[in-house]
Amino acid sequence: MKLIEKDKEIGDLIEKEKERQETSLEMIPSENHTSSAVRSALGSILTDKYAEGYPGKRYYAGLEYYDQIEDICRERAKKLFNVVHANVQPYSGSPANQAVYFAVLNPGDTVMGMSLPHGGHLTHGWKVNFSAKYYNSVQYEVSKETNLLDYNAIQKQVQEIKPHLIWAGATAYSRLFDWKRLGEIADSVGAYLAADIAHIAGLVVAGVHPSPVPFVHIVTTTTHKTLRGPRGGIIMITEKGLAKDPELVKKIDKAVFPGLQGGPHENNIAGIAVCLKEAGTSEFKEYAQQIVNNAKTLALALIGCGFKLVTDGTDNHLILINLQNKNILGAEAQDRLERAGITVNKNSIPFDPNPPFKPSGLRLGTPAITTRGMKEPEMEMIANWINEVISDENNCQKVRQEIKELCKNFPLPE
């Protein structure tokens, strides 16, 4: 029986959301549209069973096929990212990062990560998060002049602080990471270096962003952003990580289960396995390259419309607009664009004079609209629409109609 016949209330809302996605542009850089193959695995009977433990060592019976699925998923992750171990059980990115703390630190140990308002993540030691409440967190920031990571300054700070763990990775940084330099900095004080590549994982596997793997000990990622899978998390250990700590595989696996989680969501793990297979194809490489080409085109077109971008452009999938010269705050801009059919999110900019709930920036990205097949000409149109809506609220309805027309030519993946 169809969902809509069994539960009309929920079925109707899902249909409405589908129509919303079909007729508008999803431009939050951490979001994407999954394939129907990924969604089939996710919505399969694999949601029915408990599977506490790991393949071959479970606490429940009846897991012959679950074991094979999780093994395939782990092997695909190892091959795709070129790592020696992958744990595919974390429920998402924050639990994956939490497991890293649990595996390699004791409460009170010192951790360094990029400050959230400068582009980092909550779990990299931001003050309201467990990572700063249970650990001694010291944050590094971007340069005031360039808004870029200043590796000399980070090195100096690391030498003074001598952290046990350093996080590298971001949610709102539009430039490449110098993993080699970060590796040297961590090694100089004997710290673990963990790369959180949640935003850029799809770009990394496609080779359009340098891989951190040769230079870091641990890599974490979500699976639903540029990687285009279901919501989930992976923790990976590199050769360098194993050389630093031969117990690292055991420590990470024990931290995930039984340390922090119970039964893994094996339907999700099957969906991740499918997305990892898709991410190993030549079509995916082209897709990832197009994400970056689109972001660069959009960035230039926005600059052409008088927008000021943090770091003046992008090397990856995301753009951070500094709205201070436009006399509008991020929240109002986000609301206007939503009414016009462009979904983006308000975001702090480095050294933002305004509070996080009323920040001066707007974060947008190209992964989802690139999945729909949009290319450079559409990026020019989108920049003009953003400009029209930010310049004059009265343009929202006109732009909404134009976006609906554009979306008819770029269906969601089926």
Among 53, 90, 93, 241, binds ligand DSN (CB under 6 A): 93
Q: Active site includes 287?
A: no
Concatenated DSSP letters for 226-288? Answer: TT--SS-EEEEE-HHHHHH-TTHHHHHHHIIIIII-SS--HHHHHHHHHHHHHHTSHHHHHHH
**CB of 183 or CB of 229, closer to ligand DSN:** 229
**CB of 92 or CB of 384, closer to ligand DSN:** 92
Q: x/- binding map, residues 12-31, to ligand DSN, per CB under 6 A? A: ------------------x-
Concatenated DSSP letters for 347-406? Answer: E--TT-SS-TTS-SEEEEESHHHHHTT--HHHHHHHHHHHHHHHH-GGGHHHHHHHHHHH
Does 171 bind ligand DSN (CB under 6 A)? Our answer is: yes
CB 34 → ligand DSN: shortest distance, Å? 16
Q: Active site includes 225?
A: yes
CB 90 → ligand DSN: shortest distance, Å? 13
Residues in the interface with ligand DSN (CB under 6 A) total 4
Interacting residues with ligand DSN between 30 and 69 (CB under 6 A): 30
Q: Active site includes 231?
A: yes
| Structure token digits, residue 269 | 């793990």
Does 334 bind ligand DSN (CB under 6 A)? Our answer is: no
Spatial neighbors of 176 by CB under 8 A, at least 6 apart, are 209, 210, 315, 316
Does 365 bind ligand DSN (CB under 6 A)? Our answer is: no
Q: Active site includes 277?
A: no
**CB of 121 or CB of 209, closer to ligand DSN:** 121
**CB of 30 or CB of 297, closer to ligand DSN:** 30
**Alpha-carbon torsion angle 31, 35, 39, 42, nearest 10:** -70
Interacting residues with ligand DSN between 148 and 167 (CB under 6 A): none
Concatenated DSSP letters for 63-93? Answer: -HHHHHHHHHHHHHHHHHHT-SEEE---SSH
Report the distance separating Cα 6 and Cα 8, nearest Å: 6
Q: x/- binding map, residues 109-138, to ligand DSN, per CB under 6 A? A: ------------x-----------------
* Exposure of 126 in the CB half-sphere (CA atoms within 13 A): 17
One of 225, 244, 336, 346 is an active-site residue; which one?
225
CB 347 → ligand DSN: shortest distance, Å? 9
State the DSSP code for 307: P
Residue nearest to ligand DSN (CB): 30
**CB of 46 or CB of 194, closer to ligand DSN:** 194
Q: Please count the helices (runs of H) and the strands (runs of E) in the chain.
A: 17, 15
**CB of 364 or CB of 406, closer to ligand DSN:** 364
Q: Active site includes 16?
A: no
State the DSSP code for 410: S
- Sign of the alpha-carbon torsion through 275, 218, 112, 187: negative
> Which of 107, 175, 109 lies closest to 146 in space, CA to CA?
175
Q: Active site includes 141?
A: no
Chain residues that interact with ligand DSN, rule: CB under 6 A: 30, 93, 121, 171
Catalytic residues: 50, 52, 196, 222, 225, 231
